[in-house]
Amino acid sequence: MDEAIAKRPTLGAWLSEYDAIEREYLDALAACGISFAERDAHVAAVDKLRHRLREAGARFLNGGASVSTGFLSSACAACVGDCGSRTFFISLRCNHDCYFCFNPNQADFEEFCVRDTPWRDDLDAFARTCSQVTHVGLTGGEPLLCRDEALAFFERAHALAPDAHLRLYTSGTGIDEAFCAAAVERGLSEIRFSVKLEDGEASVARTLADIELARRFDLDVMVEMPAVPGTLERMKRLLAELNERGVHGINLLEFCFPMRNWPEFERRGFQVKNPPFEVLYNYGYAGGLPIAGSEEACLALLEFALDEGLEMGVHYCSLENKNRDQVLQLNRAVALDPLLYELGDDCFYHASKVFDGDVAPVRRMLDGRGGSCLVEEDGRCLTFHPRWESDAAELGVAVARSWNVVEEHDDGPVVRELKLQVVDGTRLPW
């Protein structure tokens, strides 16, 4: 491969530039003391699990960033790409102090720990500007610390959008029958409990009791929690316990380092996945960086659910999945030339490229077959639609895949290439 790239100096220079950007990013994090797993250490195990899950009929969405089996909340299906879905919080106050909480990354965190958000105005504005409100979530902090406001929130949301799916995120604090009945009356459709394994078995038992209580109401009862490396066996037992209680599904989150509290992660032996992102970008989601081993645990739990025939749904929601909505919203706003780009199911705009001496033969091939292309860099780079990728590869050239996002700048939309990778299977004559 090195020899082939040496013969294509422009391709080599571009690949080096992307490598340098990633190295700089990782070095800056390492300089803060954050440690990374060995590069690509997760790939073989994850690929095997994904392969087995595909064979077993699991559902892959958003370019594989979401993997699920059985019941999938419509709120999860709407999470990427549905402009009618929004999650609000009344305040960020919480009675827990999870070392992995990313709320301190939210804008105005301190202020919203002591003062409520203007949620009525925010909700009204959303309903006014959104053509069809489909899903409204209430998260926190812990929303049940202000249960009257939480009920008022659902009442208002239901009045504004009577058909919208309303859901609540809670650790269960203080939940009781009166609250559930009042919330259902106000249109609540789903409760998602977080189970705090790190708080010990007594805490888990309390949450299971809260879940049993919620199951008595006309609600979808879900659990949403990160899969922390090292907890796989306890998580399997938890899935069985939830299944016994008739829980509709569990949303397994990729466990993340929220860019704070690294010593807490370090003393538990955690490392950041390397590389942390398939496509490096300044994502807006506050979750942070994925912890190595969490993805494998999530996928292993999906496999466990299938093997055991659990009735409840299991959904792995990766950090990539959280980031995909941002990418899709950006890319949907501007339609790029469909003869050159395709909007991939991973939400990025994809194009294919060849460089240097490969430009002429691929251009001839495209001209002969009626394919479009764009010549750049004084003739040293040719961009074309990925549908021609295998035809180009047949010519023995080095085809590279390009991942892009369209950013809105002051002077108009700008296509920003984020990643370039020589396509596997390119038949290079070296």
Which spans of this chain sit near ligand SF4 (rule: CB under 6 A)?
94, 96-98, 101, 103, 140-142, 171, 194
Q: Smaller CB distance to ligand SF4: residue 253 or 354? A: 253
Residue in the structure block whose two tokens are 């764009």: 374
Residue type, 153: F
* Distance in Å, CB of 104 to ligand SF4, minimum: 9
**Residue 287 C-beta: closest distance to ligand SF4, Å:** 11
Cβ proximity to ligand SF4, 203 vs 243, nearer residue: 203
What are phi and psi for residue 289, nearest 5 degrees? -115, 140
Nearest approach, Cβ of residue 49 and ligand SF4 (Å): 26
Sign, CA torsion 377/414/388/20: positive
To the nearest whole angstrom, how small is the minimum distance from the Cβ of residue 192 to ligand SF4?
Answer: 11
Structure tokens at 294: 């969490």
Instruction: Give the contacts of 295 (CB within 8 A, at least 6 positions apart).
Output: 42, 46, 254, 273, 316, 318
To the nearest whole angstrom, how small is the minimum distance from the Cβ of residue 279 to ligand SF4? 26
Shortest reach from residue 135's CB to ligand SF4, in Å = 20
Q: Which residue, 64 or 172, has its beta carbon nearer to ligand SF4?
A: 172
**Amino acid symbol at 147:** R
Least separation in angstroms between residue 216's CB and ligand SF4 is 24
> Which residue's CB is nearer to ligand SF4, number 35 or number 173?
173
Q: Name the minimum Å distance from CB 194 to ligand SF4.
A: 6
* Cβ proximity to ligand SF4, 59 vs 96, nearer residue: 96
Give whichever of 102 and 281 is closer to ligand SF4, judged by the CB atom.
102
Distance between CA atoms of residues 118 and 116, nearest Å: 6
User: Of the two residues 226 and 371, which places its CB atom closer to ligand SF4 in the complex?
Assistant: 226
Identity of the residue, 105 or 243, whose beta carbon is nearer to ligand SF4 in the bound complex: 105
SS (H, E, C) the chain: CHHHHHCCHHHHHHHHHHHHHHHHHHHHHHHCCCCECCCCCCHHHHHHHHHHHHHCCCEEEHHHCEEEECCCCHHHHHCCCCCCEEEEECCCCCCCCCCCCCHHHCCCHHHHHHCCCCHHHHHHHHHHHCCCCCEEEEECCCHHHHHHHHHHHHHHHHHHCCCCEEEEEECCCCCCHHHHHHHHHCCEEEEEECCCHHHCHHHHHHHHHHHHHHHCCCCEEEEEEEECCCCHHHHHHHHHHHHHCCCCEEEEEECEECCCCHHHHHHCCCCECCCCCCCCCCCCCCCCEEECCHHHHHHHHHHHHHHHCCCCEEEEECHHHHHHHHHHHHHHHCCCCCCCCEECCCCCEEEEEEEHHHHHHHHHHHHHHCCCCEEEHHHCEEEECHHHHHHHHCCCCCCEEEEEEEEEECCEEEEEEEEEEECCCCCCCC
Shortest Å, Cβ 226 to ligand SF4? 9
- The residue (of 141 and 371) whose beta carbon lies closer to ligand SF4 is 141
For residue 99, the minimal CB distance to ligand SF4 (Å) is 9
Residue whose CB is less far from ligand SF4, 171 or 189: 171
